[in-house]
Amino acid sequence: MDKILTVEEMMRVARRRVPKMFFEYADSGSYTESTYHDNESDFAKIKLNQKVAVNLEGRNLKTTMLGKEITMPVAIAPAATGGMQTADGEIKAARAAEKFGIPFSLSTMSVCSIEDIAENTTAPFWFQLYVMRDRQFIYRLIDRAKAANCSALILTMDLQILGQRHKDIKNGLSTPPKFTPYSIWQMMQHPTWCLRMLGTKRHTFRNIVGHVEGDHDLASLSSWTASQFDPTLNWADVRWIKERFGGPVIVKGVLDADDAQAAIDNGADAIIVSNHGGRQLDGAPSTIRVLPEIVDRVGHKTEVYIDSGVRSGQDVVRALAYGAKAAFIGRAMLYGLGAGGEAGVTRVLEIIRKELDTTMALCGERDVHNIGLHNIYSNDIPPRNAPKPRG
């Protein structure tokens, strides 16, 4: 793992080690994938301002999220089917995050369950909630998160209707995998992956199996899940979810300043500027493009985070410069899992930390809290409303 120097290199290793259907689940967007690609390319358009002859000793990357100190302004995003990139994937990612001192977020659609993470880690983690039609199941899911001492709930608002992902359809993706000639052929090309999967009991959506009625037929689980996303989800739901959970609720999926304001008005404790990694509305703007106007609207009231397209420490600096409190990584974490399990995720975090530290220093800063618009040299996609520099 030490020879891997970038997240892009980690992606190439994961591509070789993970069956095509599962790698492409992580590495794809909806429809034409235009938003998926814009998320990365728009970050790259932002040029940084180099400063010299500055005392760079005693640099600090530590900050806080929801009042808790973390080692750098990065968190693990909730990402489905991490346990299909490698056996027990979410457990391995959670362990890596805990050792690194940053938050880990578990998806509703994870392979490892809430209880699996709680039993295999000691640090409180965050749980991401999809609201489904079966509200009794959602009540139980929230209660399970409370029982596992999850310290925050991430409420995803942009999956009322599922965006079509062509690669998943063509690959016949399912969890657990359907044993068709095509899927068997894919898996046979990755014997190490297969052997690891044979060594675990975790092969399906364990937050769901055994917790809803009529889910004993695993072949129908994916169709049940797709039919359960609730199109009636609205801002009023934030309040009862927060009351049921009894702790901080972070609203995820915000791309509009008015929506950010509505989230805060209805009790959100923080927001994540996110377009679901380009997996929902194809043609939506990149997250870094809309971040400044959202920070301008609500950044003085709440913590604003960002995900979708963050692939480097340089991207983290760019996000901080435009007012984000921290950045979430999802795909980068999945690449790490596919390439090397827990060690792969740890290596991804090391890469991003090194890039963040070096980039901050070369921009003339010693503390992440002082990164702001003065660290940006130029931007080919200027925001409509630029926020005030941080610090």
Residues with a catalytic annotation lie at 276
Q: Which residues are CB-neighbours of 55 under 8 A, at least 6 positions away?
A: 366
Q: Which residues share a beta bridge with 155? A: 129, 251
Say whether 263 sits in a helix, a strand or coil.
helix
Task: Please give the C-alpha separations between residue 241 and each of 140, 150, 155, 236, in angstroms, as whole numbers.
Answer: 12, 14, 9, 9
Largest Cα separation within the chain, whole Å, is: 67
Burial (CB count <10 Å: 0-12, 13-18, 19+), residue 333: buried
Rg (CA), the chain: 20
Return the residue matching tokens 């995003």.
77
Measure the CA–CA gap between 279 and 164, rounded to whole angstroms. Answer: 8
Q: In whole angstroms, what is the distance from residue 345 CA to residue 91 CA? A: 11
| CB neighbour list of residue 69: distance below 8 Å, 6 or more residues apart | 62, 63
Q: What is the DSSP string of 310-339?
A: --SHHHHHHHHHTT-SEEEESHHHHHHHHH
Count Cα atoms within 13 angstroms, Cβ side, for 33.
14
Q: Which two tokens stand for residue 226?
A: 């797709």
Amino acid at 252: K
What angle, 0 to 180 degrees and rounded to 10, lies between the N-to-C axes of helices 236-245 and 135-147? 40
Strand partners, 126: 105, 152
In DSSP terms, which residues pair with 212 in a beta bridge?
A: none
d(CA 277, CA 241): 24
Rounded Cα–Cα distance for residues 132 and 227 (Å)? 9
